[in-house]
């Protein structure tokens, strides 16, 4: 019987003779390439098949390992999501307990505050009152001494016939008073 290459060659010659396929450089290169691939496939068919099978096995193996890694990562992700959900639930429970604690503290705090203030502030008020009395006494003594000095100075200024000391409203007098007070 006829081989497949003989049948393909005869069909090609028929197409060329009826001018269905025009022979030019590109078509000739295409025919050479197809015939080359055909011959290679016929001669090295077993070698190519073994290579492709081996390559397919390697690809299958790499896909299996990557899928197993992805499966492992997915399991870890699911576990982390469950832990996160548990954490959220725990934090919500903690929030409820803290809010209950805060409400309890808010109920107790006014009475505690009143109790501590009733013990603390009377002592403070007594201390402040005593301090105020002492400060008032000191201020009055200080003011009396200053007034005495002012009166003495005024009398001494009036004794001297210098007109410089008699002009109380001038700036020069104020400056001289400041200088005199600095020397004392």
CA distance 129 to 123: 10
pLDDT in tens, the chain (184 residues): 467 777 877 887 888 888 777 778 888 888 889 888 888 877 888 888 888 899 999 999 999 999 999 999 999 999 999 998 888 888 888 889 888 888 888 888 888 877 777 776 777 778 888 889 899 889 888 888 888 888 887 777 666 655 555 555 566 667 777 777 776 5
CA distance 20 to 164: 138
pTM of the predicted structure, to 2 decimals: 0.35
CA distance 28 to 16: 11
Sequence-separated (6 or more) residues with CB below 8 Å from residue 165 = 157, 158, 173, 176
CA distance 100 to 65: 52
- How far, in Å, are 46, 66, 163 from residue 58 at the CA level? 18, 12, 122
Sequence-separated (6 or more) residues with CB below 8 Å from residue 153 = 177, 180
Token readout for 155 is 């009398």
């Amino acid at each position: 019987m006829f081989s497949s290459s003989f049948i393909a060659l005869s069909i090609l010659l028929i197409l060329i003779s009826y001018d269905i396929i025009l022979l030019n450089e590109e078509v000739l290169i295409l025919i050479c390439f197809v015939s080359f691939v055909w011959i290679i496939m016929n001669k090295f068919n077993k070698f190519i098949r073994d290579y492709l099978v081996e390559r397919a096995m390697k690809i299958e193996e790499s896909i299996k390992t990557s899928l197993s890694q992805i499966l492992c990562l997915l399991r870890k992700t699911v576990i982390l999501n469950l832990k996160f959900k548990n954490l959220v639930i725990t934090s919500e429970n903690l929030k409820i307990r803290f809010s209950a604690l805060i409400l309890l503290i808010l109920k107790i705090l006014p009475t505690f505050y009143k109790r501590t203030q009733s013990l603390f502030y009377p002592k403070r008020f007594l201390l402040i009152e005593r301090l105020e009395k002492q400060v008032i006494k000191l201020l009055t003594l200080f003011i009396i001494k200053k007034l005495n000095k002012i009166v003495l100075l005024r009398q001494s200024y009036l004794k001297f016939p210098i007109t410089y000391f008699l002009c109380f409203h001038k700036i020069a007098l104020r400056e001289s008073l400041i200088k005199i007070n600095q020397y004392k």
